[in-house]
Amino acid sequence: MTTVALPTRRQEEWRYSDLEAVASLWPLPAPVRIDVAAGESAHHHLLQDAGEGVAVVHDYAIAIADGGRCDFHVLNIGGRFGRVTLNVTLGKRAHFELNGAIIGGGKQTLEIVTAVTHAQPDGTSGQTIRSVLGQHATGSYLGSINVARGAQRTDAFQSVKAMLLDRTATANAKPELEIYADDVKCAHGATVGELDKQALFYMASRGMDPATAKTLLLKAFVAGVFDDMADEAVKETLEAAAIAKLEALV
């Protein structure tokens, strides 16, 4: 029987993880398999809200056949360590859309790790991640777009933005492109910032207390992540969980 070795910080995808928490879960179970048939559409979501001190890892392996589409929404807010990974393979004219938010405080370590492979021509994908981190929390997004040889006319992007509420919090962003085709359109961008002090001053000048002002700005920052959800009830659940977490941070 072969035992898979524990990950180390030498492995890029585990560099920022809480490896002590990972060890308590090792070995990890097989990833959840999602297969989207040719021409079909699928909608999935994950609310990762494990209890305080809990370590969890959610792994997904997603295969989207020719002409299929998969939309995935993630809210990663719970536990001492919460990791979500998505390994996605797209067929011809297939589309994958990921919208995710990481909201952490205390000493939490929260991660979203993706590998999106365009294996056939004319595939499209989008990844939008927003992070809000306070106190001593660490939030990480490590995502790769991999375009295979022959996967011409691929169109893919990654947009990663993080907001730090305290200088002791840490945001890691590593969008990555690996392209082996010459007729593609791929883009990525990552920013890390703080709340707009001028906006906070303006809101205070209109009589708004600091906590309410900060919460409103943060809600606007992450709101777009859930805008396109098809299931209104699920959307409301995720938004309510996000707002509650934001209010706890400010």
Residue 59 confidence (pLDDT): 98
Residue 1 confidence (pLDDT): 40
Question: What CA–CA distance (Å, rounded) separates 55 from 62?
Answer: 23
pLDDT by residue (tens digit) across 177-209?
999 999 999 999 999 999 988 998 889 898 999
State the pairing for strand pair 138-147/95-104: unpaired
The residue-averaged pLDDT of 126-142 equals: 98
Residues 76 and 48 sit within 8 Å (Cβ to Cβ): yes
Six-digit token pair at 133? 């981190």
The residue-averaged pLDDT of 111-128 equals: 98
The residue-averaged pLDDT of 36-62 equals: 98
Model confidence, pTM:
0.95
* Side chain identity at residue 70, one-letter code: C
Place of tokens 């690996």: 178
Q: Is the pLDDT of residue 246 over 70?
A: yes
Residues 6+ apart with CB under 8 A from 48: 56, 58, 74, 75, 76, 77, 78, 79, 82, 84, 110
Q: Is the pLDDT of residue 156 over 50?
A: yes
Q: Residues, the chain, total?
A: 250
- pLDDT band for position 138 (cuts 50, 70, 90): very high
Q: Is the pLDDT of residue 2 over 60?
A: no
- Beta-bridge partners for 124: 95, 155
The least confident of 102-106, 200-204, 245-249 is: 200-204
